[in-house]
Amino acid sequence: MAQVRFGIVGTGGMGSGHAKTMQSIEECKLAAVCDIVPEVAEAVGEQYNVPYFTDYHDLIDCKDVDAVMVATPHYFHPEIAIYAMEQGKPVISEKPISVTVAAADAMVATAKHTGTPFGVMYQSRTEPIWQAAWNLVKSGQLGEIYRTMLVYADFRSQAYYNSAGWRATWAGEGGGVLINQAPHSLDRFTWLAGLPNKVTAYCATVNHKIEVEDVAAAMLEYPNGATGFIYCSTTEVPGTDILEISGELGKLRVVDREIKFWRIPQGVKAYSDGSTEMWRRPDVEEVEVEIPERESGHGAILRNMARHILYGEELIAPGIEGLNTVELINAMILSGRTGEPVSIPVARERYDVFLEELKKMSVRKDIGPDKRITDDVHH
């Protein structure tokens, strides 16, 4: 079988997990690794018997590398991905593709003008339940959307935030729960419901000793007049994961691993406008949702990119769609910090200036060597 030879940049955390996953993907071959910490690069390189580098330019320039997986901290995603695409090397970036919308724009522009494949590691899109949700939305079964809701409440300990000097700092991450823990949920939210055009947000640091937000909430307005709500946090146990989209012809609800869909054949507004009955409601039919059998997880995204390169298979998570998540994250952070509504698209220059001011006040935590450990749900 034809294989795509991947180089991984950043192997101290998620990158090492991707190196392991790649061993079971027939279309992928690990060809090289890179990390700025020499002993980490050497250890992973020797583990998989591949060349190792400490400078990403050397890995990307290596003739034995066909494509690049970027698994560094967020701020470094754009410069590495752009260099790789400029050399004609397809890229998968870890989430989010960037910290700022301006940097995301540059990545998308590079992908477009070079024609180089560009993807983002939004692996939850591959899960059968979310593919089922996407099929409902794509086929128009919700009709015009009237309301959206996302609740992503999770938990992180102070020990987690203390595991690395860059964690939960403006200079190291550029945000908190929104840019680190919530991007998968925010990606699914914008993938299914689209982007709002105005965000009024609240961001706060509630339960942790960190610079950035561990709670964020927002009211949303959409171009068609629809409204929405988002809540994200790392302060709750047990966790909550709810997405709901209500439309003219149907309502979709996903709670944890359960999906429900209700069809409204007469239409909500159509019934309201045409009915002469004061107290009656339109008929509602709960429809069993067909869940496709398919591969899911990080390996599915890696295989999909390889098959895109080899056979033209459509990308499940194109990098250009990674811009939507950054757009929403930036809008919520800016609104939450300023107390003002923020329009989407976010003003690029304004956000860059805003973030630079926060970075000037940022302090790296003096906690000793960073603990670079892949989380135990990597798959």
Q: Determine contact, residues 22/28, Cβ cutoff 8 Å.
A: yes
The predicted pLDDT at position 329 comes to 98
Whether 372 has a pLDDT exceeding 60, the answer reads no
The predicted pLDDT at position 2 comes to 95
Q: Kindly indicate the confidence band of residue 370, based on its pLDDT and cuts at 50, 70 and 90.
A: low
| pLDDT (tens digit per residue) in 268-295 | 999 999 999 999 999 999 999 999 999 9
The tokens describing 197, both together, are: 């055009």
Kindly provide the residue ranges of all beta strands, DSSP E only, lying in the chain, ordered along the sequence.
4-9, 28-34, 52-53, 67-70, 91-93, 118-120, 145-155, 198-204, 215-221, 227-233, 235-247, 250-255, 258-263, 285-287, 342-343
Mean pLDDT of 332-347: 98
The predicted pLDDT at position 273 comes to 96
| pLDDT (tens digit per residue) in 85-140 | 999 999 999 999 999 999 999 999 999 999 999 999 999 999 999 999 999 999 99
| pLDDT (tens digit per residue) in 44-84 | 999 999 999 999 999 999 999 999 999 999 999 999 999 99
The predicted pLDDT at position 379 comes to 41
What's the length of the chain? 379
Classified as helix, coil or strand, 184 is helix
The predicted pLDDT at position 302 comes to 98
The predicted pLDDT at position 356 comes to 97
Whether 369 has a pLDDT exceeding 80, the answer reads no
For the chain, the structural domain boundaries read 4-123+296-316, 125-294+325-361
Mean pLDDT of 315-341: 98
Quick one: what percent of the chain has pLDDT higher than 70?
96
Q: Kindly indicate the confidence band of residue 164, based on its pLDDT and cuts at 50, 70 and 90.
A: confident
What are 92's strand-pairing partners? 69, 119
The predicted pLDDT at position 374 comes to 57
Q: Angle at the Cα of 64 (from 58 to 65), degrees rounded to 5? A: 65
| pLDDT (tens digit per residue) in 137-158 | 999 999 999 999 999 999 999 9
Q: What is the CATH number of domain 4-123+296-316?
A: 3.40.50.720
The predicted pLDDT at position 215 comes to 98
Of 322, 323, 343, the closest CA to residue 332 belongs to 343
Classified as helix, coil or strand, 330 is helix
Whether 378 has a pLDDT exceeding 50, the answer reads no
Q: Determine contact, residues 205/170, Cβ cutoff 8 Å.
A: no
The predicted pLDDT at position 1 comes to 72
Query: Class assignment of domain 125-294+325-361?
Result: alpha beta
Pairing label, strands 198-204, 215-221: antiparallel
Whether 375 has a pLDDT exceeding 70, the answer reads no
Whether 219 has a pLDDT exceeding 70, the answer reads yes
The predicted pLDDT at position 373 comes to 60
Determine the straight-line distance between the first and last CA of the chain, rounded to whole angstroms. 23
